[in-house]
Structure formats: C-alpha cells, structure tokens
Amino acid sequence: MAFTILIVCSGNVCRSPLAELLLREGLAALPGVSVSSAGTIALVGEGMPDDGQAVARALGVDPGGHRARLLVAEQVRGSGLVLAMAREHRSAAAELHPRAARRAFTLTEFANIARQVEDTDFDDVRLLPLDDVAGRLAAVVDIAAALRGVVEHLEEVELDVTDPYRQGQEAYELTAAQVKPAAEATVALLLRGATIAPGTTGAIL
C-alpha cells in the first residue's frame, strides 16, 4: 500500500518543488512513500528558476528533473498528507476535495505540530506492524490533525512560506531558510511514526 504526500504552492516552480525534493530525500528509506508537488496556478511544464535551482543544489538535492504541474482534485483525493506553502494553498486543496481538509496543513504548521508530538501520542501507531508503513503514516497524520487545536500555535504570519518568485537570490535563500527546518521536522515525525516499535511505550528501533 502506498502513501502519497502532496505539496502545493502557486506556480509549482519555487517553494513546493524545494520542499518536495527535501522530503523525498529525507523519506527515501521508507518503502511505498511518494512525494509530489503541484501549483494552484502552475507554470505547467516549467522547471525551477536558476536561483531556485542554485539554492536546491546548495541543500544537496537535484532540481533538474522538476516540471511544474497544475493542482487537480484527483491529486488531493489520493494524498495521505497535503502540505501547503501558504494558507491560501491549503484552502485551495480543501476546496478541490473537502474531505482532505483534515489532512491538509501548511508546511510550517505541520512542522510546528511535529515538534510537539510526545511519545505517548503514538498509541494508535504502535498497534500497527512495522511493515504497514502507509497505515502508520496515516495514523501519524491523524495525530497531527488531533493536535492542531491543542498544541502551541504559530503566529499567522509564520504559517506561510514567503514566495521568492522573480525576487532574486536572497529571496530564495530566505525561502529555503523557512522550508529546510520545516521539512526536517516533518521528516523526523514521519520517520518516528514509521519506526516506533509495536506494542511498546516509546521505544524506537
């Protein structure tokens, strides 16, 4: 069984492809997990701009194969986790498939929750076998959804990743400085859920 993570921004050439590349690399060891991205007003078929590619390569990921695609309802419907670059993109995804609203977050929102998840929150995950990666990750998303209104919140301005499109190298570096730690926190939570030992109270394999 597969588990798909969908990352959404506007043009799908700057923010979401960078997050896609970082998450794909971080989760590469998990079988059956795929990461993709799309844009609400995508520059369909275009690659990342040169400044964006330079920043991506500096972070150790290869942006050369990326081509922008338009966000459609089928992508949202088939995703176990939707990570938006800004609140407007989270709303756009939920409008295309309203049932996905519970599993749709901004990237920084999900990362903020991820940093506050306790080992005691993983009780449902521990009921699942280690080889049910998709089931475990779906359970982790349920944990995050349940904690959304409980944990310490970000300020509204912190929920959105800034758009660097056509704003120069410094803008891309600022975006990367937001995306990288959020992607790392997201990866850490998902790996934690995928590897926590069944039937235990917080032991990590």
119 token code pair: 């080992």
Catalytic hit among 119, 121, 124, 132: 124
Q: What is the pTM of this model?
A: 0.94
Domain range 3-195, its CATH number among 3.40.50.2300, 3.40.50.11810, 3.40.50.970, 1.20.120.80: 3.40.50.2300
Catalytic hit among 14, 15, 90, 136: 15
The gap between the terminal CA atoms of the chain, to the nearest Å, is 22
Model confidence pLDDT, tens digit, residues 83-106: 999 999 999 999 999 999 999 999
The answer to whether residue 67 is catalytic is: no
Model confidence pLDDT, tens digit, residues 32-77: 999 999 999 999 999 999 999 999 999 999 999 999 999 999 999 9
Confidence of residue 1 (pLDDT cuts 50, 70, 90): confident
- How distant, in Å, are the alpha carbons of 7, 111, 117, 201 from that of 151? 23, 12, 9, 21
The answer to whether residue 9 is catalytic is: yes
pLDDT at 142: 97
Strand 33-39 relative to strand 104-106, pairing: unpaired
pLDDT at 204: 44
